[in-house]
A and B are shown apart, each in its own frame.
Chain A
Amino acid sequence: MTSFVDLEAKIPNNVGLKDDPVIRRALETWQPAYLEWWRDMGPSDFKQDDIYLRTAVGVGRGGWANFGHVKMPDYRWGIFLADPETEGERKIKFGDAMGQPVWMQIPGEMRARARRLIVTQADTEPASVEQQRLLGHTAPSIYDMRNLFQVNVEEGRHLWAMVYLLHKYFGSEGRDEAEELLRRRSGDPDNPRVLQAFNKPIRDWMAFFCFTTFTDRDGKYQLAALAESGFDPLARTTQFMLTEEAHHLQVGENGIARIIERTAQLMKEGVDPRKVGAMPLDLIQRYINEWSSASYDLFGGEDSSNAAEAFATSLKGRYREGDGLYKDPLALNQNYETEIFENGVEKKVQIPLRRAMNALLLEAYHADATRIVARWNRVLEQYQLSERVYLPTLRFNRQIGLYGGLWFNPQGEQISKEAFERKRTEWLPVDADYQYVKNCMIKVWDRGKFANWIAPPPVGINNQPVDFEYVKFH
């Protein structure tokens, strides 16, 4: 059941590259271009420093990763597919191909759609590295710096995972796409990344923690839906990516929790966080509003023929499709009920369930994000403060979908554009906020020390102490 992992190869892998010379050569040709991209667009500087990083070394029983100090350019980016969940023939669990054996090659009529799904996912991986490339210089601790670089190298590995699929299963078109992934640049007006949220600058560590909480979480749900795919290599690739992604989400969730904790400590002592370079709760709330609503848009329109096609063709399932929890794996003869606004009047509409796949995935995401915000509020409770942060509803600040172009308050009540604009500075960050946060971003690189705006974590990485030398500077 456990596949062979070749860690000695130029590209570590468990996909049998040794016996697949055509793909091996193609990937070894792509590798220098990737390393050049990493040099140019990966973390600025720190190339000579030793970072305490986790490296994926396998799948299955007996551990999947090693920890050790590594120079980032020497990181061993590998290609790993999760082992099959069961032995013997596996069947597709949803959509029109339900009951058929899973596909080991992509059926011809699905190539274009599958390629687009993979390229859209793949493009987010280098994009986020580009967005975050300058953050190391203002790290609030070497613990956080190490976490940033861990996220970066693993997003790089996810690019490798997707590029393998493009090379292996999509021929010359796949190779062209793999090259394009290294040519697009986050925020470049002439050659931007595919999804808008990945062209948004990550200016500071507040934005980084919000990004890893909310935007990376969209990635998690997209990966989870692809992990149900009838196209077996795609399903098993994304299953393994999810394992690494969990840490990225923790970095964000715990990062904001630690910022809130530091703010709560100060408030409890009667100190105004703004007076000491910490983050006031109203500012934290505006960042939450900005990044959560931008991330809602990443799910696409609630009523989507593309999403229906991806489900119908058994390429992309629902969240936890394979758990057997859904009453109808075909999603036929059912509707999804939601609300729309016509001339300011709210009314209920029924969307055929297959067309509502984006909405279903977004609902699952929103439930998860709600849980996180509740966890952050527990920190405020622990400090016996009455203030709370909240998660805006799915209608707030949307650019696309049923609520795009309409105006709602964070609680979801429709308001006029003028009313929204009057409240904008209360609900969303403005330049003064960005400037304030920027001024707080002062590097703290001494072992065990943390910037004044963030509390230390309760535990270190991989059972190491909090004051461990996570980064050895040279």
Chain B
Amino acid sequence: MSDGPRLVYVCEGGDCSEKGSVELFEELRAQIHDKDSGNKSNIRVRKFPCFGGCAHGINVVVYPDRCFYSKVTAADIPEVVASLLENGKKIERLSGKVEKDVEQITFDLLTTGF
């Protein structure tokens, strides 16, 4: 997994998409592209059906970093991008909002696969 892509999943479940996750996905992808047009960082921004942390959306998960960000808004995107491309630091203020079992199920789902 270590040499694989770094995956940034934006939830596009019903509640998150009602809060604007589709637009947030596009903006996040565009800002990463603006700062790393050659994708040297090997980051892929993808949509994910739903993580189940609906009350805390918009949810964004970074894998394999195991970061589960909640209540993410457009205003947070520059900080998320900086975390991904520059400092690598987990954003604590966006973390730890969903139930622990929701986080665990999500990381289990992402880890499985042949």
Contacts and interface: CB of A to CB of B under 8 A. Distances in A.
Interface of A: 1, 60-64, 85-86, 220, 224, 242-243, 246-247, 249-251, 253-254, 320, 322-328, 331, 334, 353, 360, 367-368, 371-372, 374-375, 459, 461-462
Interface string B1-15: 000110100001111
Given A64-B22, A86-B39, A250 B5 contact: no
Contacts of A243: 12, 17, 22, 47
Contact of B18 (A60, A224, A334, A459): A459
B4 A324 contact: yes
Given A64-B22, A64-B23, A250-B18, A325 B50 contact: no
A201 B49 CA distance: 27
Given A250-B13, A328-B114, A459-B18, A323 B46 contact: yes
Given A323-B5, A323-B7, A375-B52, A251 B14 contact: yes
A250 B114 contact: no
Contacts of A374: 52
Q: Which 8 pairs of residues, A with B, have the shortest CB-CB distance? A: A250-B14, A325-B113, A371-B52, A246-B17, A246-B12, A61-B26, A61-B30, A324-B5
Contacts of A63: 23
B94 interface: no
Given A246-B13, A320-B46, A325 B30 contact: no
A262 B7 CA distance: 39
B87 to A, nearest CB: 24
Interface in B31-80: 33, 39, 44, 46-47, 49-50, 52, 54
A459 B18 CA distance: 10
Nearest to B101: A374
B105 interface: yes
Given A254-B14, A323-B7, A371-B105, A353 B30 contact: no
A250 B7 contact: no
Contacts of B50: 249, 368, 371-372
A76 to B, nearest CB: 19
12 contacts: A62-B23, A64-B26, A243-B17, A254-B14, A323-B7, A323-B46, A327-B113, A328-B114, A372-B52, A375-B52, A375-B54, A459-B18
Given A371-B50, A371-B105, A375-B54, A326 B113 contact: yes
B114 A334 contact: yes
A451 B14 CA distance: 22
Nearest to B114: A326
A34 B6 CA distance: 44
B110 interface: yes
Contacts of A251: 14
B22 to A, nearest CB: 6
A261 to B, nearest CB: 13
Contact of A368 (B17, B49, B114): B49
